[in-house]
Structure 1
Amino acid sequence: MGELEDVCARAWPAVVTRPLGRWLLRASGGYTGRANSALAVGSPGVPLPAALRAVVSFSAEHGIRPYVQAVVGDEVEAALPGLGWEVNLAHPKGAESAVLTSALGSGPRWAPAAGTGVEVVGSPPPGWFELAVGGEPSAAQRAVLTSGPRVGFASLREGGAVVGVARGCVVGDHLHIAVLEVRSGYRRRGCARRLLAGLDAWAAAHGARRRVLQVATHNEAALALYRGLGYAESHRYRYWVPA
């Protein structure tokens, strides 16, 4: 679990990070919970109340709401309610997410249809940001999405138009997958599977042997897709805020 959380954090680097013991304080102008929260895995090196005060202070310093990303069922999460924190049920992407992992290449193979294919390149191609974030990215969005040890930007085109995008990042021997988006009107046509297969092939060429991703537990369609591709749940995490 700790190794996977480290991979995910390195693959999705915040604009500002600050260690607190084994915790990681992160701020990125409010873009995504993962890049604007304290990753509370392991010991913060100080008593938990002091660590939470440090989270609040760091968040105020960077103009973001205080968040703690805690693993469901661990000691940190168990202590948070008694210290005045609560699960953020209003989080726009969902309060609880699952971390899924698998061996690279497990699950059924997917062959793109004739005349279409997935391109994976080292910088966002034209049209990628438009689908990924809905337009021109903010400085924080661009920084988070383009940073990481080895980032690949996957795109699927039909008729010259970008109809699907995804982001992969190779960290050690892991492929981390994020930002899987398919244009309305092209969904349920295998585009997501093609994008994922393209990232698999790209990552394998760069030494990856396993893959990992994070998905909201209420996203049943995505969970079904990933299970069909051989993913299994490692653990879950939730976002906590001061009550």
Structure 2
Amino acid sequence: MPGQRAGAGLSTVRQFEAAGFRAWPAAAVHYDGTWVVRLTAGHPAKRLNSVNPLDPRDVHDLPERVMRAGRRFEAYGRPLTFRMSPLAGAPLERHLEGEGWIRFGDSLVMQADLDNAAVNGAMDQIPLKDMGRFVTATMTTHATDATLRAGLSEIIGAIQPEVGLFALERGDEPLTTAICVHEGDLAGLFEVATAEAERGKGHGRRLVLSALKWARLRGARRAWLQVEADNPAALRLYRGLGFTELYSYHYRRRPEG
């Protein structure tokens, strides 16, 4: 079951889910009741290609609605995927479980107070203005397939809140990259990655702190992020920076074959 940590009521979950939709926008968004169907032809990321239920009470006509969502995903050439946050609710979880849907991609939403010594003492860094340069850098640190360049550029270009594109480089060699999305009192971190040969050297910590300082100087008070639960290196980094778990989510997909 997706879970909530102490103090994370459904209203808080809704706040962060909505912030996530705005900060990492899908190319197409459809609604079926309170289900948000997000689809992106240019990028296969699960967050951008998933059904996101937003009310645990909205569980009527489940077989028919699942079928409708499946037709939309089929038109995009994507496997039908549900993203199960605490807003999905137990009845939908039981329905998918009963139909044999596979659970995968367990993830955590974490938050941190930005008024702390580590952020205050971070190195000032100006975000990149050249999106093409940033996309090249982040595709290198993530070892991303070159065919996804256009799709990633489209996603970043569609972000509506203020966005900071950060890269730590050695000459022309990108070491670490991150995206920081500032909206009101929130600063969301996305696409944080360090080149494989440069991991464990403190580059990620340095760049993340600089990105958070940039957002704090613009009025952000809380940082947040989404991270896969089976990524121990990232969890060590974020917990070391004061991030704590707010709630969890996972994905469901029909078994292949």
- Report the AA paired with residue 143 of structure 1: E
Alpha-carbon offset, residue 128 of structure 1: 2.3
- Matching residue of 1:120: 127
Q: Deviations over 1:165-215 (max 9, x none)?
A: 111112332111111111233221211011111211221233222111111
For normalisation by structure 2, the TM-score amounts to 0.80
Aligned to 2:108: 98
Match of 2:118 among 108, 128, 139: 108
Provide the C-alpha distance between the structure 2 equivalents of 1:68 and 1:162, rounded to a whole number of angstroms.
34
Query: Does 2:61 align with 1:54?
Result: no
8 Å contact from structure 1 (residues 131, 165) kept in 2: no
Q: After the TM superposition, which residues 72-151 of structure 1 pair with which residues of structure 2 at under 5 Å, given as runs?
A: 74-75=89-90, 76-82=92-98, 84-89=99-104, 95-106=105-116, 108-109=118-119, 111-112=122-123, 118-124=125-131, 126=133, 127-133=136-142, 134=144, 136=146, 137-148=148-159, 149-151=161-163
Structure 2: tracts of 5 or more residues without a match? 1-12
Task: List runs of 5+ in structure 1 lacking aligned partners.
Answer: 90-94
**Conserved 8 A contact 2:114-2:212:** yes
TM-score (norm 1): 0.85
Q: Give deviations 1:54-93, integer Å, cap 9, x for gaps.
A: 22111012221100001268323233212x252344xxxx
1:95-139: CA deviations, max 9, x gaps? 211111122244734545xxxx74413552524244255364433
One-letter amino acid matched to 1:151: V
Whichever structure has more helix as a proportion of its residues is 2
Aligned length: 233
Distance 1:194 1:213, change over 3 A: same
SS of the residue corresponding to residue 80 of structure 1 reads helix
Counterpart Cα distance in 1 of 2:219 and 2:45: 28
Following superposition, the deviation at residue 46 of structure 1 comes to 4.7
State the identity %: 25
Counterpart pick for 1:164 among 176, 189, 207: 176
* RMSD, aligned CA: 2.4
Match in the other structure for 1:36: 49
Opposite residue 48 of structure 2, the aligned amino acid is: A
Q: Distance in 2 between matches of 1:123 and 1:104?
A: 27
Is residue 191 from structure 1 mapped to residue 203 from structure 2 by the alignment? yes
CA contact (8 A) 1:120 1:198 kept: no
Residue matched to 1:224: 236
SS in structure 2 opposite 1:166?
strand
